[in-house]
Chain A
């Protein structure tokens, strides 16, 4: 049986924040949606019309068994086929650091969606800075547990880097939050002070620069 999660506390903490940003009834696309925890929650708690894209066959199967609409495929390729503004929100959680061409992906997200939401592990967390400074080894943390030679995280991003990147690719940050999570990433807190140092993850909502800032969705 697929795991059923309708209780927000059972969602990964960054997904709880993302879920709180999505208004009821919105149309949502989840890139790299895994087993569909967020989409399932949004569908049942917020009447969201959601779809997902996921690479792994078993995870896709788990999503479809739960009644979610999910396509098996590569997010960079699958995102190209949707019509403009097909979604209110396009969400890409904890995947940006594994994408070869993040600029193209973000532009594609904002072509097919009115708003995009991305989250990623913050590489400027104090533990990481401290490890590099003291040991001289490539840092390893709970959020980034890999060795340099086997990490899928090919893009090293910090919160500050993302803000610069947003400016460079011409997207507007609608809101951002840094969070500090516990071991299993199930619980956490929003870090309001010194977030560049204390946040384990950053979550950003972005939109096209030209689009007038509207609240809510149609």
Chain B
């Protein structure tokens, strides 16, 4: 069985070949009717299946669990391999493993696929028990809070009373913040990476263009495409837009410049002349093989709706964090224009005003928003040190 686990072009083997080894994807199903999960919108959903993977061992005190929250298109496969012939390891293999930044010799690492996604957890492509067809747009709109609430059910199921740390970047970082506010008693420490308490207009704008690309694809058919041709073109364009926002002017100049793809002159046609065009087309094409267009709509909408201050603080991030107890390490990257440093600083300010223990580091990186997925010695050692002292 060959598993499609290519998170992005950045997933790579550990340089030193160190790995957590073979891992197994498991599922946990709860909220069976009539005890459905009540979502933030008031809608009910059940049964709910959450796909998850763990690495490392839970210690006797059950005090070493680390929850990793993935971003938009990630999955539960955070590290290691399903099979020794897998072409690539899990999406954060450079960070998670024996002796690594998140050391699986010390921590019991849990990662689950978010609610609404399509890589093992319940989402719009799952079967609706009432109609015995995929939910499609009958799937209720889920929020970051709902995703976290489903993760909480999983953590309870695993018998973990307290999380040593919750870690995640981007939309994963939103889940980290949500955890700290929603279940303050359960989170000892938190590492929100390259994230925000609310999307900027810029971020919403890009998401909306991406959603429009999907919905404008005739194959989308109001979300009902599961028994026919899929809106691959729309989803590919959506992914292309995403990839632009994950890079930076600097990184695109370095990576592509104006270099041409397999040719020495312009074609004077609408082929992919430039390398950057060819790269984006390739990323789009790869993405449609593993991701569901409706999931893309639901998850981006959840990210756009996310507003910690509005939800928990009457508009104030400071008030939203008032019950939070966790020790924080916020990290941003200099060239990230999707979740710029000022947004991490806003998180830090709100935490400071609550006299919470917060560290912040802006890491010099030219790779844009994607920097948090790339090997970075500084990020690794900072995360490692913070985790080691998180309960000082």
Contacts and interface: CB of A to CB of B under 8 A. Distances in A.
Interface of A: 2, 43, 51, 57-58, 60-61, 63-73, 81-83, 86
Nearest to B332: A72
Nearest to B363: A57
B355 A71 contact: no
A60 B358 CA distance: 12
A65 B353 contact: no
Contacts, number: 62
B222 interface: no
Contacts of B327: 69
B222 to A, nearest CB: 47
B237 interface: no
B382 A67 contact: no
Contacts of A63: 359
Contact of A70 (B345, B359, B363): B359
Contacts of B361: 57, 60-61, 64, 72
Interface stretch (B17-25, B147-155, B383-391): B383-391
A71 B2 CA distance: 44
B362 A69 contact: no
B27 interface: no
A67 B385 contact: yes
B363 to A, nearest CB: 7
Contacts of A66: 385, 389
A63 B360 CA distance: 11
A61 B363 CA distance: 9
Interface residues of B, number: 25
Nearest to B386: A64
A81 B384 CA distance: 27
Contact of B359 (A2, A69, A86): A69
Contacts of B357: 51, 69
Contacts of A64: 329, 359, 361, 382, 385-386
A73 B360 contact: yes
A61 B382 CA distance: 6
Interface in B360-384: 360-364, 378, 381-382, 384
B138 interface: no
B349 interface: yes
A57 B361 CA distance: 7
B360 A83 contact: no
A20 to B, nearest CB: 23
Contact of A81 (B352, B359, B363): B352
B102 interface: no
A68 B359 CA distance: 8
Contacts of B388: 67
Q: Which of A58, A64, A68 has the most CB of B within 10 A?
A: A64
A69 to B, nearest CB: 5
B362 A72 contact: yes
Contacts of A61: 361, 378, 381-382
A72 B330 CA distance: 10
A81 B349 contact: yes
A57 B358 contact: no
Nearest to B389: A67
Nearest to A52: B359
A69 B384 contact: no
B362 A86 contact: no
Among all A-B residue pairs, the 3 with the closest Cβ atoms: A67-B389, A65-B385, A81-B352
A63 B329 CA distance: 12
B79 interface: no
A30 to B, nearest CB: 13
A69 B353 CA distance: 15
B358 A69 contact: yes
B348 interface: yes
A2 B381 CA distance: 11
Interface in B46-68: none
Contacts of A67: 385-386, 388-389, 392
B384 A65 contact: yes
Contact of B360 (A2, A58, A72): A72
Contacts of B385: 2, 64-67
A86 B353 CA distance: 9
B348 A71 contact: yes
A63 B378 CA distance: 12
A199 B355 CA distance: 37
